[in-house]
Amino acid sequence: MRAFFEGIQWLFENIFFALHDFLRALELKNWVAANAVNWVFMAICAVAIVYWCKQLKLHKDNGEEYQDTTAQSFLK
């Protein structure tokens, strides 16, 4: 049974966390390169938010947006 759990440990430490170990070692050499992943995700989120806001405005201008002030039908 011990070998089974040691196999799981080996799998996670050597396979699944290899990218994390690489980024940790890279951070000591070049901070910008190590955090490039974060900058990419922030850029993707910024583009998605701008697209979402444009779509909301488009639907509001067309009058397609349903705005009901009550939260539930039983509150009317």
At 6-16, the pLDDT tens digits run: 999 999 999 99
| Burial group, residue 35, by CB count within 10 angstroms (0-12, 13-18, 19+) | middle
Instruction: Bin 67: left if φ > 0, else alpha if -120 < ψ < 50, else beta.
Output: beta
In terms of pTM, does the model score above 0.85? no
At 34-73, the pLDDT tens digits run: 899 899 999 999 999 999 999 999 988 887 777 666 666 6
Q: What is the mean pLDDT of residues 17-30?
A: 90
Please determine, for residue 18, whether its predicted confidence score (pLDDT) is greater than 60.
yes
DSSP 72: S
Report pLDDT for 59.
87
DSSP 8: H
